[in-house]
Amino acid sequence: MIGPETLHVPPMATIVDFTTLGKTVLYSFIAGIGFAAVFGGGVSSVAGLVEAMRTGRTVAVVGWGALAVLCAAAALAAIAAGIYAMTGG
């Protein structure tokens, strides 16, 4: 009779490197969702900036403008960091 003793199938944990796979999933989520959130924040800020300029609200213009610049810088930094991490091994 074939049973677990005779089949000798190694447990999944020894076949799959869950640490590396987990890191891949984590990095994918951080990069994919994080970049979208930062860029989406930037687009929302620019839209807020345009609206504030149209209605002549100076404080809001400065606030949305600063946030848009911050988001743009963060998005560019994320791309640079990602490429550096890839090429750096």
End-to-end CA distance of the chain: 49
Which residue, 1 or 41, is less far from other proteins as judged by CB?
A: 41
60 binds other proteins, rule: CB under 8 A: no
Q: Which residues in 35-54 contact other proteins (CB under 8 A)? A: 35-37, 39-44, 46-48, 50-51
- Spatial neighbors of 9 by CB under 8 A, at least 6 apart, are none
Q: Write down the residue that tokens 């606030």 correspond to.
A: 63
CA distance 73 to 82: 14
Exactly one of 1, 7, 8, 14 binds other proteins (CB under 8 A); which one?
14
Question: Which of 15, 55, 56, 58 touches other proteins by CB under 8 A?
Answer: 15
